[in-house]
Amino acid sequence: MSFLEYAPAPESTAILDLKPEYGLFIGNEFVPAEGESFSTISPATEKEIARIANASEADVDRAVAAARRAYDKTWSKLSGRDRGKYLFRIARLVQERARELAVAESLDNGKPIKESRDVDVPLVAAWFFYYAGWADKLDYAGLGGNPRALGVAAQVIPWNFPLLMLAWKIAPALAAGNTVVLKPAETTPLTALLFAEIVQQADLPPGVVNIVTGAGETGRALVNHPDVDKVAFTGSTEVGRQIARSTAGSGKKLTLELGGKAANIVFDDAPIDQAVEGIVNGIFFNQGHVCCAGSRLLVQESIHEDVVERLKARLSTLRLGDPLDKNTDIGAINSAEQLERIRTLSDVGEAEGAERWTAECAIPENGFWFAPTIFDNVSTSSRIAREEIFGPVLSVLTFRTPAEAIAKANNTPYGLSAGIWSDKGSRILAVADKLRAGVIWANTFNRFDPASPFGGYKESGYGREGGRHGLAAYLKGAK
Ligand code: NAD
């Protein structure tokens, strides 16, 4: 029990005006799907939020046809300046509806409201503002002499940052002049459907943005559709591999943003209290459902005990519970399947001999929860040091020299992100130079900005999202 108790401070859901059932969003209208609908639930209560349409192959075909028509008839004929106006309009509408979007995201995904309110939704608006600014400047972006859109983009996203991943996909695609069909994850379709309402409000030409809901089969039908020119996928490495195989030789341009197992390296000259905050943010932000999470802590041997003690003390103050409560630090795990995966891998960690420590906290009766957990003395060959757990679980390893830290950090099939904590700028630069990771943070972690490219090496995928680089993925001939 902590010495300071907090009164409940739940954000009201009264701001939401949800429909009991949602259709597919095709040609700026909500239309019924062919098949049976499915329900989306709150992972904190397991209660149904709404019924969601399950798009069949024929439904996907209708959506792609709408996107193609819109591309041929309207969107490809607009000037960059006019496309930019629509994107600015979307960005402003996201800001206007920010509170509603944050509440819907926390309800459907289980993430704490302070994160959806202060991180996810502001970044969504920032992404649209940023790419709105690029729409009329493509000729000056160093992307070739006459950068042209690809056509129709098929976009499939995961459940960990539902609306933010949508923004990462849709904003650059539209700025570059493409039309899109996007499929949100089956456990978190709600904010994509609210975004569809924003598309209507912004009065986009019908068919420029289409949203098809459903599970893996819908995603497969979308990425394999013969009339799409570009596939953008964010999700697991396993599904990414399947997509790479099925699109090979099809002429479709492909970007894959996959898993990660980032090293967060703490040297003995680091500001320890700041580093502890960074470690906590690195792996417990969004319940650790973060592809670039700092899930492997590499700490210099001389400060190992001190850092782990301070970490435990800090984790003991985190509050787990109702995602809509403004005081909540750790929300719900997104689904029963994900919870099962986290439990299984944690049991493996214990069986392999790592020391398990779990923060004491009351677990609510309903819903899916996992208390913040640390595994100490993890060996490099252990599964919890190699596989992505995608949950609030930190593996702690030690090192003695910078060379050993680099070798251990790079000893992973992934290469998405990394963190370095040290007082010496020269050491940070020397180590960063040798890490095989797409994004490296120095004395901070999990910072995102639309101007900064994001993406991985090795099994973390290929292509970059964000920045000028993010436009290249949606333009002919651009690299
Ligand atoms: P997932 O691969 O199971 O699902 C992702 C999406 O793909 C979902 O919308 C799903 O319905 C769809 N899908 C499933 N099978 C498909 C198929 N055969 N063809 C086409 N689409 C299919 O992943 P997940 O469990 O939802 O998400 C977690 C994973 O996403 C983690 O591995 C995480 O690291 C990764 N991720 C990566 C980034 C990044 O930018 N690199 C960002 C967020 C999440």
CA-nearest residue, atom 40 of ligand 1: 257
- Do residues 170 and 182 lie in contact, with contact meaning Cβ atoms separated by under 8 Å? yes
How far is residue 461's CA from residue 44's CA, in Å, rounded to a whole number? Answer: 31
Residue 372 predicted with pLDDT over 80? yes
Which is the closest atom of ligand 1 to the Cα of 416?
41
From the CA of 185, give the closest atom in ligand 1: 9
Q: Assess whether the C-beta atom of 466 lies below 6 angstroms from ligand 1.
A: no
- The token duo for 334 is 């997104």
Determine the pLDDT at residue 111.
98
Q: Is pLDDT of 350 > 80?
A: yes
In a 13 Å sphere around the CA of 366, the CA atoms on its Cβ side amount to: 8
The pLDDT, as a whole number, for residue 261 is: 97
Q: Which string of DSSP letters, residue by residue, matches 392-441?
A: SEEEEEEESSHHHHHHHHH-SS--SEEEEE-S-HHHHHHHHHH---SEEE
Edge-first strand listing for the sheet containing 355-358: 355-358, 373-376, 393-399, 296-300, 263-266, 417-421, 439-442
Indicate whether 249 pLDDT > 60: yes
Is the pLDDT confidence value at 4 over 90?
Answer: no
Distance CA 213, CA 54 (A): 6
> Which of 223, 233, 239 should be mutated for ligand 1, with most atoms under 8 A from CB?
239
Closest Cα to residue 345, out of 398, 309, 386? 386
Q: Poorest-confidence range of 5-9, 170-174, 390-394?
A: 5-9
CA of 239 to the centre of ligand 1 (A): 7
Q: Which of 398, 81, 90 is nearest to 267 (CA)?
A: 398
Ligand 1 center from residue 422 Cα (angstroms): 34
Amino acid at 212: V
Q: How far is 194 from 137, CA to CA, in rounded Å?
A: 29
Q: Which of 236, 247, 290 for mutating ligand 1's site (highest number of atoms within 8 Å of CB)?
A: 236
What integer is the mean pLDDT of 241-260?
96
Q: Please give the Cα distance from 472 to 479 (Å, whole number).
A: 6
pLDDT category of residue 104 using cuts at 50, 70 and 90: very high
User: Ligand 1: distance of its center to the CA of 256 in Å?
Assistant: 10
Q: pTM (2 decimals)?
A: 0.97
Rounded Cα distance between 86 and 23, Å, is 24
From 54, 60, 127, 156, the mutation candidate for ligand 1 (largest count of ligand atoms within 8 A of CB) is: 156
Ligand 1 pocket check for 289: Cβ under 6 Å: no
Return d(Cα 189, Cα 116) in angstroms, integer. Answer: 15
What is the pLDDT confidence band of residue 406, given thresholds at 50, 70 and 90? very high
What three-state secondary structure class fits 221?
helix
Question: Does 158 sit in the ligand 1 pocket, CB within 6 Å?
Answer: yes
Catalytic (active site) residue 257? yes
Distance from the alpha carbon of residue 351 to the mean position of ligand 1, in angstroms: 28
160: Cβ below 6 Å to ligand 1? yes
Share of the chain above pLDDT 70, in %: 99
Tell me what pLDDT residue 144 has.
Answer: 86
Instruction: Write down the pLDDT at residue 479.
Output: 64
Q: List 31's β-bridge partners, or say none.
A: 24
State the distance from the centre of ligand 1 to the C-alpha of 74, rounded, in angstroms: 31
- 451 confidence band (pLDDT: 50, 70, 90): very high
The answer to whether the CB of 232 is under 6 A from ligand 1 is no
Task: Answer yes or no: is the C-beta of 183 below 6 A from any ligand 1 atom.
Answer: yes
Q: How far apart are the first and last CA of the chain?
A: 55
Mean per-residue pLDDT for 119-123? Answer: 98
95 lines ligand 1 (CB under 6 A): no
Q: How far apart are CA 310 and CA 308, in angstroms?
A: 5
Dihedral sign of CA atoms 426, 431, 434, 437 in order = negative
Pocket flag, ligand 1, residue 185 (CB < 6 Å): yes
Please, are residues 115 and 101 in contact by the beta-carbon 8 Å criterion? no
Which of 4-13, 192-201, 333-342 is least confident? 4-13
The stretches of 248-388 forming alpha helices (DSSP H) are 272-284, 304-315, 336-351, 383-386
Q: 239 CB under 6 A from ligand 1?
A: yes
Cα-to-centroid distance, 234 and ligand 1 (Å): 5
Inter-CA distances, 188 with 110, 159, 164, 213, 338, Å: 10, 6, 12, 10, 13
Non-local CB neighbours of 5 within 8 Å, separated by 6+ positions = none
Single out the catalytic residue among 11, 115, 186, 291.
291
C-alpha 255 – ligand 1 centre gap (Å): 13
Tens digit of pLDDT for each residue in 321-349?
A: 999 999 999 999 999 999 999 999 999 99
Strand 230-234, strand 253-257: pairing: parallel
Name the catalytic one among 11, 115, 186, 257.
257
Cα separation, 448 vs 17, whole angstroms: 30
Sheet holding 21-22, edge to edge: 21-22, 48-52, 38-41
The helix (run of H) or strand (run of E) holding residue 148 is none
Question: Facing residues of 215 across strands?
Answer: none
Question: Does residue 474 have a pLDDT over 60?
Answer: yes
Q: What is the pLDDT of residue 2?
A: 52
Burial 52-68 (b: 16+ CB within 10 A, else e): bbbbbeebbbbbbbbbb
Task: List C-alpha distances in Å: 302 to 252, 268, 398, 411, 447.
Answer: 51, 7, 9, 22, 28
Residue 291: CB within 6 Å of ligand 1? yes
pLDDT digits (tens, 9 = 90+) for 267-298: 999 999 999 999 999 999 999 999 999 999 99
- CA distances to 206, 269, 348, 427, 472 from 423, rounded to whole Å, are 54, 6, 36, 8, 36
What per-residue confidence (pLDDT) applies to 3? 62
Quote the percentage of the chain above a pLDDT of 90: 96
- Non-local (6+) Cβ contacts of 103 within 8 A are 11, 12, 13, 15, 16, 113, 116, 324
Pick the residue whose CA is nearest to atom 12 on ligand 1: 216
What is the rounded average pLDDT of the residues 441-470?
Answer: 96
Q: Token pair of 184, please? A: 């949100």
What pLDDT does residue 460 have? 96
pLDDT tens column, 15-31:
999 999 999 999 999 99
Give yes or no for residue 216 CB within 6 A of ligand 1: yes
Burial environment of residue 51 by CB neighbours within 10 A (0 to 12, 13 to 18, 19 or more): middle
Taking all residues of the chain, what is their mean pLDDT, rounded to a whole number?
Answer: 97
> At residue 334, what is the residue type?
N
- Report whether pLDDT(392) > 60: yes
Cα Rg of the chain (Å, integer): 22
Mean pLDDT over residues 448-455, rounded?
96
DSSP string, 111-139: --HHHIIIIIHHHHHHHHHHHHHHTT-GG
pLDDT tens-digit readout, 147-184: 999 999 999 999 999 999 999 999 999 999 999 999 99
Active site residue 48: no
Asked whether the predicted pLDDT for residue 128 surpasses 90, the reply is yes
- Residue in the block written with tokens 């000028």: 468
- Whole-number pLDDT of residue 5: 79
